[in-house]
Structure 1
Amino acid sequence: MTAANLGSRVTGWGFVIFTVGSLAWSAVAIGTGQTNLLLTNGFLTLVNAVGIWRWLGRQARLEDGSEAAKAHSAVSKVPSLFGIGSLVGGKLTGRDGTTIGTVIDGMMRCDGAELAYIVVGEGGIGGIGERLHALDPNRVRFGDGIACDLDAAELSQLPVLAHDNWPAALDKHVAQN
């Protein structure tokens, strides 16, 4: 639950489960007189408490704030908003409404605070065999999700990025394809 990155609430509840486990082992340690087991699980209980506070407390409230701003902007006479925190891990939907990739990251320009490109992963299983592609943000629509006018075949034809070496800017060829 904590490693799957399924959102702050799922991660937070994973830490709740960890806490129950560390408290149970602490009880075993007390009952059997195992000081080292008690010290270890006492420390783990503290770590888990921080995880609960961070994911079920702080991060969940921040995500709620982002969602509230998005909802308010949708009914206001201002441009609609999309939370940057929703970008990473978001599913990229193609022109036919199916998921064609997952957003790995977004690269912002420092000189104008604009989105320079998003990195989309496609193919593979659990990151193994996954291909990364840079996608011009002008080709993407943000709203209830992240969508584009490409299909899976067109996305797979974009140049592949090295996992550890992304470009400083999009090549004009990449932006136009």
Structure 2
Amino acid sequence: MNWDYVANWSEWVAPIATMIAAIMTAVNLGSRVTGWGFVVFLIGSIHWTLLGVATGQKSLLAANGFLCIINAVGIWRWLGVRARLDDGAQAAERKSEALPAPTLLSLSNIEGRSITAADGALIGHIRGGMVERDSGRISYVVVANGGLGGVSETLHTVPWDELKPSDEGFTVPAKCEDILRREPLDPADWPARVQAA
């Protein structure tokens, strides 16, 4: 095998694949995108491993040989297990739409959905929420507004009772500025109770 040829290709493919995979997994656009991110990570790790062999760098070979295993586990986890669970949850949502109320909504699909105000303005996207342990009822969600990738965003709580499902996410009867006038949430200190406006 022409190891110089392998090294020339791998020194470009490896970092490009690694950067693309890092973006795909960091943006958290769902189990399938994350799973395909691990596929691209695996391609990068294979090329880093080949580069280690071609250049005699044993530490690069060892580290990326191990990362190939980790990336294979990521593929199994996100394109296998998690994707099947998401498919099952979506099937339950579809079936429930054909039945009398209540319509079901997968808990794993709530995070990331948009919240739009009565005036049509986008308030933000759901970052998390709290469920009442005894009843299983969702108490409130946390919505992120502004910023980029978690930097300079503000967090606000919205009681579950204020949310109405829509095609793209949820709507609230309040105006956007009314929601954003509420006390911002400390990311490290969520409240035990949130009162509806």
Do both share a fold (TM > 0.5)?
A: yes
Matches within 5 A, 1:44-123: 44-123=67-146
User: How far apart, CA to CA, are the structure 1 residues paired with 2:60 and 2:146?
Assistant: 44
Between the two proteins, the alignment pairs up a number of residues equal to 173
2:63: which partner in 1? 40
2:99 corresponds to which letter in structure 1?
S
TM-score (norm 2): 0.81
Q: Deviations over 1:70-113 (max 9, x none)?
A: 00000123410001111112111222444221111110111211
* Counterparts of residues 158-169 of structure 1 (less than 5 Å): 158-169=182-193
Give TM-score scaled by structure 1 length. 0.90
Aligned to 1:2, the other structure's residue is in SS state: helix
**Is the Cα contact below 8 Å between 2:125 and 2:143 reproduced in 1?**
yes
1:157 CA drift (Å): 1.3
Q: Which moved more, 1:127-136 or 1:52-61?
A: 127-136
**Within 1, Cα distance between the matches of 2:182 and 2:190?**
14
Greater shift in the superposed pair: 103-112 or 66-75? 103-112
Over the matched positions of the two proteins, sequence identity in percent amounts to 43
**Aligned mates of 1:54, 1:165 — CA distance in 2:** 31
Contact 1:82 1:143 in 2 (8 A): no
How far residue 21 of structure 1 moved from its aligned partner, in angstroms, is: 1.1
Residue 133 of structure 1 deviates from its aligned partner by 1.3
Greater CA drift, 33-42 or 10-19: 33-42
2:10 maps to which residue? none
C-alpha separation in 1, matches of 2:124 and 2:134: 29
- Aligned residue for 1:132, secondary structure, equals strand
5+ long unaligned stretches in structure 2: 1-23
Deviates more, 1:45-54 or 1:144-153: 144-153
Alignment RMSD = 1.6
Please tell me whether the aligned partners of residues 163 and 171 of structure 2 are also in contact (alpha carbons under 8 angstroms): yes
Task: State the 1:155 CA deviation.
Answer: 1.4
Gaps of 5+ in 1: none
